[in-house]
Structure 1
Amino acid sequence: MRVPLSWLREYVALPQDLPIADLDAAFVQCGLEVDTVEDLRDNVTGPLVVGTVASFEVLTDFKKPIRYCQVDVGEPEPRGIICGASNFAEGDRVVVALPGAVLPGGFAISARKTYGHVSDGMIASARELGLGEDHSGIMVLPDSAEAPNGADARPVIGLDEVIFELELTPDMSHCFSMRGIAREVAHRLGVGFTDPAGLTTEPAATADGPHPLRVDDPLGCDRFATRAVRGLDPAAASPEWLRRRLIHAGMRPISLAVDVTNYLMLELGQPMHAWDLATLKGTLVVRRAAAGEKLTTLDDVERSLDAEDLVICDDTGPLSLAGIMGGETSEISDSTTDVLMEAAHWDPTTMARTGRRHRLSSEAGKRFERGVDPALCRVAVQRAIDLLVEYGGGTVDASVGDIDNRRPTATIRLAADLPSRIAGVSYDTTRVGAALDACGCTWTAEADTLTVTPPSWRPDMTDQADVVEEVIRLDGYDKVPSVLPAAPPGRGLTPTQRRRRHIGRALASAGYVETLTYPFGDPTVFDALGLPADDPRRQVLTLANPIVDAEPALRTTLIPGLLKALKVNVDRGIRDVGLFETGLVFNPRPGWEDQPLPQLPVDRRPTAAELAVADALRPHQPQHLATVRCGHIESDGWWGPGRLGDWSDAIAAARTIASASGVELEVRQAQHAPWHPGRCAELLHNDTVVGHAGELHPSVCDALEVPRRTCAVEINLDAIGFPEVPPGPSISHYPVALIDVAVVVDATTPAAQVASALSEGAGDLLEDIRLFDVFSGEQLGENRKSLAYKLTFRAPDRTLTADETVEARDRAVALAADRHGAVLRGA
């Protein structure tokens, strides 16, 4: 919202010596963010004066007509100035930039020879002066401009203006007008306020309006006022002051009728529409559109209407998308003489939905969807008619149409001390009442309760919190002390938080980078992942109003989001990528589709029974951790070749996660999409599958456009649980005993299971076991392999003898033989 200072002064008794910085601060204290302050006085420096074209000579020896003008600028002799425009005549008053002036953009004016003559200055257009986009001709001053030749032209053309650009929040819809902004500033500075709506006498409604009208949807349109003027001069131009204000406010002047509606929208906040009475066929009807109806709006776009859209029609069909934009047949033309002015109040929710549905934003729509003052309709049409008659002639139709279906404004009851309790500031009743008066509310106090009725221009005030907010804002945010709350003593991080941090540090040390992906996705990605039709991960919850239409599903796995992030990195040239993420997945409760969704109240705390019903339908949300990795694990260089990642690195990442969690995982071969069936492992904790790790299937990599041999891990952290506090380790200073054991087992026997049997058989003396070699060959037999382990033995209280070490080894091999048919190699 652009606020010219001179316009603001009409309604606010601002001191003449008020510094711009103080007014800027007042805006901020009102809750209005000042984006920029544009001082037009700085746009043009140097001599800019009023002049009169005494005579001109048309030079015809060039590609376009050029005029050599003699311009009287209040000096003894006129100045000769070359001008390429032709929209002026002898005797016209113009704006002249003399040598030494600097126009916007750093364009310096000097006397120079051009077209065979010396041009001693420049006759300026509006765009050259930064006053608009009109560059079709130079500025011709109106006859009302009484400044003498040679006088400073800045006050005459509005270059002495200061314009504030405000960023308005949706909850301050009343400030989408000069009326609302002026009221706020006047209260903040403690000066007088003149309500522009009070400068016009509201006419009384008559039995019949100036044109037949019917409102079929009183909920969508609760007020519709009309007034007409006949015999308007279609050639009448808008007055210069009105055109200037529109330009300063960022709008382009068009015609008198249209300019008047735009001006009043800015002044009062009431959008209006001007109809050509000669083009209307039959009764105007406000109704919902019929599905499939078409309307070509003023932006030349044909739109298919929805059954929720509000439209204004006559006998020919829809003429206007109500409250948003008129149709091409509803425009005021150059021959319009009879004008019907309309001011209506439209349902904000309908306006917002219509604008978003059609991706159509307009100044009127912005105001209606935030809420305008329904009490202004008749005032606005009367003000519009007065301006049309004053500047365009014509006769006012005596009829005043007003269909009024407004509902009474609801009152709000709240405890008198609620503002004090919320803000931590002691507000007595007098102080609260002063703020409510400034807001325009009517209120009464009874015992410890306030009953507040918001003004018609504050549709955003609907509950106690809104009243409290207004009291705090109008009394002054700066009066609310900044007090840091006392931090209660805590117990440190929770076990979940500690585990997450430990895992994050461990994975970061292993070369992974943590990322955060969106918890929403496209359910068609499950086809790319190759999930079976009955896979529980396909059972997803979808959002009714998703952020992205193509991604409405709450995730049931972290893998798709991480692969999407990995692809972005690879596409940008980062070939060696390792990512991990910890986050929730959302698994629907069985049978939730058949249960009615509970509607929890918002005006009170739900009961325990209501919360229990809602909780029974709340999806299960376990915390998962996933990693993805592609490219080199070890880079190549002068030291030798590098190493590409493979399934073993995914297993290593899973073991890193388990170690940081303080648990051990059992690893065994499995088949589970989207992993490669021959390079996939399932991860078990206490005989329960908690995740999977390995290389992704090549078809999955191709479908998702990530490099082949990409590895991934996904673990359900909630299924792991938390280990008991381990006892402190006992450190022995006695020497270790090392024995290598090689056993031959079936080729399908997992090495981890053999290691588990060896560890259990060796007993307490075993300190560590490590697989260091896997061998298969003809000498071992078909489908046989050799697993070589290094066993480390140590006693806490003595040096082990050779017999004790060999006995422990034999027990280990015996248990492995009993469980897995292991045979000591070479035996």
Structure 2
Amino acid sequence: AGVTDVGRPRPVVTIDLDLEYPSRFIGVDYDRETVVRVLTEIGCLVEELATTSGTGLRVTPPSWRPDLTSAPDLLEEIARIDGYDKIPSVLPTPPSGSGLTHSQRARRIVAEVLAGQGLTEVWSAPFVGDDRHVALGWTAEDARARTVRLVNPLSDEQPLMRISVISTMVDALVRNVARGTKDVGLFEIGLVTALEGEQQVAPTERVGVHPAPEVLESIHAAIPPQPRHLGMLLAGEVERSGWWGAGRKAEAADAISLASSVAEALGVPVTTTSADGVMPFHPGRCAAIHLETGELVGHAGELHPKVVQALGVPARTVGAELDLDVLIAAADRTVRASTVITSPVAYSDVALVVDETVTAADLEAALRSGAGEILESVHLFDVYRGDQIDDGKKSLAYRFTFRAPGRTLTTEEVSALRDSAVAAAAEAHGAVQR
């Protein structure tokens, strides 16, 4: 009979341990007897060893503990067996510096502005499925091309990362409405996936090994862009009804106003134009929001009726989704204070009749272009549709505010400036003064 020898014997490993190391690393005052006792209990051979700082230990782990290969491994055993409850809770000392980053400050400003207008911040898990994309009016193929599929999703029904904050926020809206809250205003600040091209596979390394520079570069290259978006949803009344009178339902203008207030709070000038064919919004009640450079920030308006039905949210629900990173980048600039002019202001009102296809923002831009440099502001204060104007037309009433530095404007000057603005609107959009 022979002997069958299977496997290879594990080489003997010895670990040098300074007796001051456990106390310094864990934060508990361990004496020599405690350290030796614990290591002996787990089967280690402990010998005395002279070190530069004094007496240390040379530890030989048992053959059945191949996981003990370094001094930190021994420290973990010491802390575990002696008791994690003995480790004190010590708050770290914050480093000196300027505090929050520009992005963090901007996000806090946005959250405070929206909370101040009655909205509640929510968090939703960023996982969706093809059915949610279809419900929002996108084709499953196009949406899937912009996102990534998880290898080990929490749910087989939601294997994709979201490409829109609204796509997951609607769950919170539906849940609140189902529990009896009919008037809801929600917002969320979160990351979305914006894959460009084919999804890449990131390389992996074993635990405890710092990846080489080329491996790190490949890992970073495989991560898709993840911009930070702001989503908002309003349903029900924005002005509550009661004994004082009737309330007012949320409408597209409320979502656009919220988006504008966010940009204003960050000090970023934006323009608002009508937008069609942008899902999940209603084609006739959607606005596109751009920076002055023309870069798209996002959209705001009323959700499409088909989307409302598919998602089960209340009728006429409105919302907005903005690329917050675009706004934050535009806000990272030095703002120069304008000169304070103490001269009296001069007001002038005008009502213009235009086609229904002309947006208030486009008409306002034309008025501004012709009003001159001393125009301080122009404000839309009335919209009229009725018997006094033709079908397919609407009347938009604006108030001009003029102010000249160092002097008072005359009535003739104000009238001339107003007429110049009206002429510019007539040339650009065929506007006729009522």
- 1:652 equivalent to 2:257? Answer yes
What is the CA-CA distance between 1:791 and the residue it aligns to?
Answer: 0.7
**Could you tell me which residue of structure 2 aligns to residue 440 of structure 1?**
43
Amino acid across the alignment from 2:285: R
1:722 matched residue in structure 2: 330
Structure 2 residue runs without a partner (length 5+): 52-56
Q: Is the 8 A contact 2:298 2:323 kept in 1?
A: yes
Could you say which residue in structure 1 is the equivalent of 2:419? 810
CA distance in 2: counterparts of 1:645 and 1:624, whole angstroms: 22
* Distance across 1 between alignment mates of 2:241 and 2:86: 64
Equivalent of 1:683 in 284, 289, 299: 289
CA contact (8 A) 1:537 1:556 kept: no
- Structure 2: distance between partners of 1:637 and 1:416: 75
Secondary structure of 1:496's counterpart equals helix
Task: Give the letter aligned to residue 722 of structure 1.
Answer: A
What secondary structure, in the 3-state scheme, does the structure 1 residue paired with 2:94 have? Answer: coil
Which residue is 1:673 aligned to? 279
Match of 2:192 in 1: 585
Distance verdict in 2 for CA 1:454–1:579, change over 3 Å: farther
Query: How far apart are the structure 2 equivalents of 1:756 and 1:537?
Result: 38
Q: Which residue of 2 aligns with 1:453?
A: 61
Which residues of 2 match residues 499-514 of structure 1 at below 5 A? 499-514=106-121
1:700 — aligned with what? 307
Q: TM-score, normalised by structure 2?
A: 0.86
Cα distance in structure 1, aligned partners of 2:411 and 2:60: 93
1:182-193 alignment runs, 5 A limit: none
Q: Report the count of equivalent residues.
A: 421
Ranked by relative contact order (alpha carbons within 8 Å, sequence separation 6 or more), the top structure is: 2
Aligned match of 1:530 = 137
For residues 423 and 219 of structure 2, what CA distance do their matches in structure 1 show? 57
Question: Which amino acid letter does the alignment assign opposite residue 230 of structure 2?
Answer: L
- Counterpart of 1:768 (choices 335, 355, 377) is 377
Displacement, 1:701?
1.5
2:43 touches 2:61 (CA, 8 Å); kept in 1? Answer: no
1:665 shift after superposition: 2.4
Distance 2:160 2:48 in 1: 51
Deviation at 1:619, TM superposition (A): 1.5
Whose radius of gyration is greater, 1 or 2? 1
2:365 is aligned, of 756, 763, 766, to 756
1:643 aligned to 2:248?
yes
1:774: how far off?
2.2
Alignment of 1:360-439 (within 5 A): 416-417=17-18, 419-424=22-27, 432-439=35-42
* C-alpha spacing 1:636/1:538, structure 2 compared with 1 (3 Å): farther
- 8 Å CA contact 1:416–1:429 kept in 2: the answer is no
CA contact (8 A) 1:581 1:626 kept: yes
| Structure 1 counterpart of 2:124 | 517
- 1:730 and 1:796 in contact (8 A); partners too: no
Q: Give the counterpart letter for 1:524 in structure 2.
A: D
Match of 2:175 in 1: 568
| Matches of 1:509 and 1:566, distance apart in 2 | 19
Counterpart Cα distance in 2 of 1:450 and 1:764? 83
TM-aligned CA deviation for residue 633 of structure 1: 1.4
The alignment status of 1:792 with 2:425, answered yes or no, reads no
**Amino acid paired to 2:61:** T
**CA-CA distance at 1:415 after TM superposition:** 5.8
Percentage of matched positions with identical amino acids:
44
Q: Tell me the distance in 1 between the aligned counterparts of 2:89 and 2:47.
A: 31
Q: Shift of residue 813 of structure 1? A: 2.7
Give the CA deviation at 1:570.
0.7
One-letter code of the match for 1:762?
A
Cα deviation, residue 782, structure 1:
5.5
Does the CA contact (< 8 Å) of 1:436 and 1:443 recur in 2? Answer: yes
Partner SS state of residue 659, structure 1: helix
The Cα of 1:669 is off from its aligned counterpart by 1.9
> d(CA) in 2 for partners of 1:464 and 1:532?
56
Deviation of residue 605 (structure 1)? 1.8
Q: Is the 8 A contact 2:349 2:397 kept in 1?
A: yes
Any unmatched runs of 5+ in structure 1?
Answer: 1-206, 208-402
- TM-superposed deviation, 1:801: 2.1
Matched, 1:615 2:220: yes
TM-score by length of 1: 0.47
User: What is the letter of the counterpart of residue 565 of structure 1?
Assistant: A
Is the Cα–Cα contact under 8 Å of residues 526 and 538 in structure 1 kept in the other structure? no
Matched with 1:629 is: 234
> 2:244, 2:410 → 1: CA distance?
43
Q: Which SS does the other structure have where 2:300 is aligned?
A: strand
Q: Assess if the C-alpha contact under 8 Å between 1:409 and 1:454 holds in 2.
A: no
Closer/same/farther in 2, CA of residues 620 and 412 from structure 1, 3 Å limit: farther
SS at the partner of 2:130? coil
Q: What is the SS of the residue equivalent to 1:810?
A: helix
Q: Tell me the distance in 1 between the aligned counterparts of 2:195 and 2:9.
A: 44
